[in-house]
Structure 1
Amino acid sequence: MAGTLKRKKSRRNIDETSSEVDMPVISALDMDNPSSDIEIYAKEVLNALIADNLPPTPNNFSLYFDRLLEDKSENLRKQIHSILELEENNDDENTIALEQSLKQGFSSIKGILGVTANLYKNMSLMTKILEKRKEELADKPEAKEALAIISTLENDVTKLNSILKTQSTQMRSIYDDTAKIVKNVENETIFDNQFGVYNKRYLLTKIEQEMGLIKEFHHKSSLIMIELSRELKKSVKNDKAVLLMIRTIARLLLKTSRRSDIVAHYGNGVFSMLLKHTDIESAKKASERLCELVSNSNFFLADREIQLKISIGVTDIDPEFSVEEIVVSALDGIEKAYELKNTDYAVSLRK
């Protein structure tokens, strides 16, 4: 009985070069005919996906497109990125912009409510002033006409004050309803306004999604947790300065990350990077590069120059464990790095 034997293809880490398939070589991009060079590179990406036995879905293709491009010349990378910018359309960025607009709108409503409340207080103060002037004029018979005018004015102010109070109550009700809507939206947001990266909710969702993909396609992905050195925090002893340092770390993470990486604020100044299709060894190299980048970024506090320093925990994404266990493992890596003292990062793997 005839049959076919399918060869099981081994997974590779796409940060390394594969020799399973002959890849077309492109050394530079011909700007007179850029489409042809893009086509050649696209075929290279497709061959890499086939070599790794991965389906050429848009997400996989985009991820491999970015990663394989890192091995090309700087000139080629810049030229291809300039072409990609012409059609760039990031749904997440659009969502983030919408979230920011919504929060700004809510802040404006809150400001209107505050102005209305102050107006109501001023009207109440005006009523009290009129009452006081009326009492002063009551002891002066020659001021009867003025007293009558004040009484009329007092009645008008009282009516206006009553109307304003009713409208203020209505506005407060509208504000409360809007606050509930914004709160519900915040529970579904993906962006951390304070540091300009993704938030914890989005991170956990992406880790869970990646676990499902790993279970299906058996590739390697990693998670790293990053925080500003605790020793540095203690030495600075200035909350505002520490916050600025943490924000600087966030910007550096975005600067060094690839489009397929997920940079998020986990909480309390701890950041995370989900490195898709990246094994532990490559995650360690990424951590080394990140530590070096941060250490070369000095921070000035008054006349004092401070060298930034971070601690990193590294772990793998294993679908046999829960999202929480994976996150805790990466956080344990940070603690391990502090214990080792001679390194800024450490790997933590679950047993």
Structure 2
Amino acid sequence: MSGTFRSEIDSNVTDPETYSETKNSIIIESEYDLGVYSKEVLAILIKNDIPPTPNNFSIYFDKLLKKKSQTLRDHIISILEFEENTKDEESVLAEQSLKEGFLLMKNILSATANLYKNIFFMTKILTKRKQELEECSNIQETKSVLLSLESDISKLTVILKKRGSSIKSVYNNSIEILKNIQSNTKFHDKYGIYNKRYLITKIEQEIELVRKFKYKSSLIMTEAIYELGDVNNDKAVVLLRKTVARLLFKTSKRNDIVAYYENDLFVMLLKHTDIEGAKQASKRIYDLVSNSSFLLADREIKLKISIGITNITENNSVEEIISSAKNGIKKVYENPDLDFAVLLRNS
């Protein structure tokens, strides 16, 4: 089935190119300043026979910025800070959690060492009391040794309870930190791509970037379609989703965000990509997945996906944008002749 695109536009869609004349002139000036500066950096790299790799470009980008006007520096720095602030905050929080986790682990090891030390000490006491019992010549001496042993055990019990309570407290705190770290991870633990939480965060950031700089970005949602028959089990589903995730990642560009959303739904956030670019990306995805198969229990399972495409807009929430992509997939199901469907949001 060849991929045919259809645009579904809701009743209150506005022209994405319509902006006020004043606003448009400001945008052009800002983009022009940054664009000219970027070209200058690249020209100097080429002139000095320096490979224009991302790392070299970054070094000279910062180096040459010091010689520019304060206005240009402030403008570019504001862009960089806007894009990096969230990453820095996430890194700081992750580092703090890890430091707390290492400290708690150190405390657990220390408490465990003390327990081992006291148990070892008690073993020596038991050996001593055993020897004393063997040397007892009458009942009175035996009772005295047993009373001493009872006192020793009582003391050890108090120590063990105290240490055990301390270990339990530290252990519970460690579990909370691990849960916190897990809840803030970026990657899905099974499929090797970004998870839903990180995806939503990146869409929120992209909405702000689109609002501020007026460029275009798109979102592609794909739903994996497969028939496992009598081999329908959790392991088979996980393996199949891993295959789809790998294929999507293979077709993505460096700055794309590829994530598992839920229930066989995968999402690609295409930064600086308009709807036409998203359509081309969707065609590549569809062709790649359609020409792939999945081997399971000596059976070849054909893969297929349905794709919904939408645009990232400044006036819509993450939920609304995700909903548009899902509705695009519904349009595909409504028309068997379609492999893709586009549903635009208001700009």
1:35 aligned residue: 51
Is the CA contact (8 Å cut-off) linking 1:314 and 1:330 kept in structure 2?
A: yes
- Does residue 196 (structure 1) correspond to residue 171 (structure 2)? The answer is no
User: Letter of the aligned partner of 2:236 in structure 1?
Assistant: A
- Does residue 225 (structure 1) correspond to residue 221 (structure 2)? The answer is yes
User: Letter of the aligned partner of 2:330 in structure 1?
Assistant: E
1:212 aligned residue: 208
User: Letter of the aligned partner of 1:334 in structure 2?
Assistant: I
User: Letter of the aligned partner of 2:179 in structure 1?
Assistant: K
1:299 aligned residue: 294
1:70 aligned residue: none
User: Letter of the aligned partner of 2:301 in structure 1?
Assistant: I
Unaligned runs of at least 5 residues, structure 2? 1-20, 28-38, 40-45, 61-73, 81-86, 120-140
Listed one character per residue, the Cα deviations across residues 24-75 of structure 1 (whole Å, up to 9, x for unaligned) are xxxxxx9xx56389999x9xxxxxxxxxxxx9959999xxxxxxxxxxxxxx
Listed one character per residue, the Cα deviations across residues 143-168 of structure 1 (whole Å, up to 9, x for unaligned) are xx999999987876676555434322
Distance 1:200 1:252 in 2: 18
Give 1:333 deviation, angstroms: 1.6
Is the CA contact (8 Å cut-off) linking 1:329 and 1:350 kept in structure 2?
A: yes
User: Letter of the aligned partner of 1:168 in structure 2?
Assistant: G
Distance 1:59 1:309 in 2: 43
Unaligned runs of at least 5 residues, structure 1? 12-22, 24-29, 43-54, 62-90, 124-144
2:280 aligned residue: 285
Distance 2:253 2:78 in 1: 14
Distance 1:233 1:60 in 2: 48
2:266 aligned residue: 271
Distance 1:206 1:162, change over 3 A: same
User: Letter of the aligned partner of 2:310 in structure 1?
Assistant: T
Is the CA contact (8 Å cut-off) linking 1:295 and 1:308 kept in structure 2?
A: yes
Distance 2:190 2:345 in 1: 32
The DSSP-based 3-state class of the residue aligned with 2:190 is coil
**1:74-153 to 2 correspondence within 5 Å?**
none
User: Letter of the aligned partner of 2:172 in structure 1?
Assistant: D
Give 1:235 deviation, angstroms: 6.8
Q: Could you tell me the TM-score, scaled by structure 1's length?
A: 0.57
Give 1:324 deviation, angstroms: 1.0
Distance 1:57 1:256, change over 3 A: farther
Q: Give the RMSD, CA atoms, in angstroms.
A: 5.4
> Higher RCO, 1 or 2 (CA under 8 Å, sep at least 6)?
2
Distance 1:341 1:150, change over 3 A: farther
1:342 aligned residue: 337
Give 1:258 deviation, angstroms: 1.0
| Aligned pair partner of 2:324 in 312, 315, 329 | 329
Distance 1:304 1:282, change over 3 A: same
Is the CA contact (8 Å cut-off) linking 1:311 and 1:345 kept in structure 2?
A: yes
The DSSP-based 3-state class of the residue aligned with 1:167 is helix
Is the CA contact (8 Å cut-off) linking 1:312 and 1:346 kept in structure 2?
A: yes
Is the CA contact (8 Å cut-off) linking 1:315 and 1:330 kept in structure 2?
A: yes
Distance 1:177 1:37 in 2: 45
Distance 1:303 1:287 in 2: 30
2:137 aligned residue: none
Distance 1:320 1:162, change over 3 A: same
Listed one character per residue, the Cα deviations across residues 120-150 of structure 1 (whole Å, up to 9, x for unaligned) are 9xx9xxxxxxxxxxxxxxxxxxxxx999999
User: Letter of the aligned partner of 2:280 in structure 1?
Assistant: K
- Does residue 243 (structure 1) correspond to residue 238 (structure 2)? The answer is yes
Distance 2:265 2:334 in 1: 18
| Aligned pair partner of 2:179 in 178, 183, 191 | 183
Distance 1:295 1:233 in 2: 16
2:122 aligned residue: none
The DSSP-based 3-state class of the residue aligned with 1:244 is helix
Is the CA contact (8 Å cut-off) linking 2:294 and 2:301 kept in structure 1?
A: yes
Give 1:223 deviation, angstroms: 0.5
* Equivalences, count: 273
Distance 1:170 1:190, change over 3 A: same
Q: Could you tell me the TM-score, scaled by structure 2's length?
A: 0.58
Distance 1:184 1:238, change over 3 A: closer
Q: Could you tell me the percent identity over the aligned residues?
A: 50
The DSSP-based 3-state class of the residue aligned with 2:344 is coil
Is the CA contact (8 Å cut-off) linking 2:236 and 2:296 kept in structure 1?
A: yes
Greater alpha carbon shift after TM alignment, 274-283 vs 202-211: 202-211
Is the CA contact (8 Å cut-off) linking 2:313 and 2:345 kept in structure 1?
A: no
User: Letter of the aligned partner of 2:194 in structure 1?
Assistant: Y
Is the CA contact (8 Å cut-off) linking 2:312 and 2:345 kept in structure 1?
A: no
